């Protein structure tokens, strides 16, 4: 297996992607909340291009998050492999010592090896907590943005319904005026009296002016309908992108939590207690709870408290891991099918 990128670079990449995606999402939501006064020709062209850009940026962001959790998962697997290796080597050396008349590895040597694994698990949990915090913060940022877009699309659809009603009325007036003009023209043709013809021509001219006004009104209404239709489509697309991101956040948070549980379980087996982890998960009396350094493992405090009760088994964790892995696998499969279309 190739060397993994440094965790800090993965975090910075994901954090930068989160900031860029959020900034563009906010910009798009604001732009799409305004209905242009101009013609429908070329309306929302910039926003359409920005939405395509947002989709590409979102794909990069998702890839960065997946790389982050992959790093955590692989390193957790390595910790388990290291633990198994310590047990296997210690057992083998003890077995061979019996035949070679040598001393088996001392408890101190084995303990030192296990403590090294415990320390690597503690560091891994600290980094996993950083990743968990980054994703949780992103979820809290993006969720209100979806809620702010939903009233906009409802307003757009309501305005569009009003315009459709006005278009129906204008269409009916157009028919009535067209019929009136046709009737007046037939009367002009049949009229023999000059005064009667002049009166009918005046009526025809007035009806023609009204007809032209109705035609202009219909054109404006059709234009406004097209603008609102485009606005609603783009807002719906933006909401879909944001909702999909929130799904990604949920899946990756679940995956990180499962990997954290695996680390906690192994730490307990290696160290014999999770008290050092709890010390890093509870706020210190000398620091405020809102200080980042005060509770580095605060995100995992509920998991740690659950593990202190002794009711969590490795089988439970493996079941949750299988579900989390399956959910991510299904998502990747769906994404691959969508990209192939």
The string of pLDDT tens digits covering residues 164-185 is 999 999 999 999 999 999 998 8
Is 222 a domain residue?
Answer: no
The pLDDT assigned to 164 comes to 93
Is 58 a domain residue?
Answer: yes
The pLDDT assigned to 340 comes to 43
Domain interval for residue 316: 7-163+236-340
The pLDDT assigned to 212 comes to 92
Is 333 a domain residue?
Answer: yes
Is 215 a domain residue?
Answer: no
Residue with tokens 């993965």: 10
The pLDDT assigned to 187 comes to 86
Is 43 a domain residue?
Answer: yes
Residues of the chain with pLDDT under 70: 1-5, 40, 87-109, 284-294, 334-341
The pLDDT assigned to 96 comes to 42
Number of domains in the chain: 1
The Cα–Cα gap between 23 and 28 comes to: 9
Spatial CB neighbours of 105, under 8 Å, sequence gap ≥ 6: 89, 90, 93, 94
Tell me phi and psi for residue 37, to 5 degrees. Answer: -85, -15
Whole-number Cα distances in Å, 178 to 67, 196, 220? 67, 21, 19
Is 31 a domain residue?
Answer: yes
286-291's contacts with Cβ under 8 Å and 24+ in sequence apart are none
Q: Is 222 exposed, middle or buried (0-12, 13-18, 19+ CB in 10 A)?
A: middle
Total-model pTM: 0.82
Please report which helix (H) or strand (E) contains residue 35, including its range.
none
The pLDDT assigned to 36 comes to 83
Is 189 a domain residue?
Answer: no
The pLDDT assigned to 99 comes to 44
Contact between residue 317 and residue 277 where contact means Cβ atoms under 8 Å apart: no
Which DSSP category does 292 fall into?
G
Is 55 a domain residue?
Answer: yes
């Amino acid at each position: 297996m190739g060397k993994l990128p440094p965790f800090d670079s993965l975090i910075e990449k994901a954090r930068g992607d989160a900031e860029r995606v959020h900034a563009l999402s906010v910009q798009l939501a604001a732009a799409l909340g305004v209905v242009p006064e101009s013609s429908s020709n070329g309306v929302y062209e910039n926003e359409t291009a920005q939405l395509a850009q947002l989709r590409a940026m979102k794909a990069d962001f998702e890839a960065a998050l997946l790389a982050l959790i992959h790093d955590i998962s692989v390193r957790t697997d390595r910790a388990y492999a290291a633990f198994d290796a310590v047990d296997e080597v210690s057992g083998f050396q003890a077995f061979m010592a019996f035949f070679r008349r040598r001393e088996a590895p001392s408890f101190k040597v084995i303990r030192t090896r296990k403590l090294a694994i415990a320390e690597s698990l503690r560091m891994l949990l600290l980094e996993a907590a950083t990743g968990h915090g980054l994703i949780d913060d992103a979820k809290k940022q993006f969720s209100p943005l979806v809620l702010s877009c939903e009233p906009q699309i409802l307003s757009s659809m309501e305005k569009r319904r009003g315009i459709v009603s006005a278009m129906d009325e204008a269409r009916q007036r157009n028919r009535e005026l067209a019929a009136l003009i046709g009737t007046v023209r037939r009367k002009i043709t049949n009229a023999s009296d000059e005064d009667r013809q002049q009166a009918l021509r005046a009526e025809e001219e007035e009806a023609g002016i009204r007809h032209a006004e109705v035609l202009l009104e219909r054109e404006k209404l059709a234009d406004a309908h097209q603008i609102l239709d485009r606005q609603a489509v783009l807002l719906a697309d933006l909401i879909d992108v944001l909702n999909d991101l929130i799904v990604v956040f949920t899946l990756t948070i679940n995956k990180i939590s499962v990997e954290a549980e695996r680390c906690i379980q192994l730490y307990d087996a290696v160290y014999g207690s999770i008290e050092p982890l709890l010390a890093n998960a509870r706020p210190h009396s000398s620091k405020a709870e809102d200080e980042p350094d005060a509770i580095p493992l605060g995100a995992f405090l509920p998991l740690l408290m659950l593990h202190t009760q002794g009711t969590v088994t490795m089988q439970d964790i493996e079941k949750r891991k299988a579900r989390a892995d399956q959910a991510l696998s299904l998502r990747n499969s769906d994404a691959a099918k969508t990209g192939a279309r």
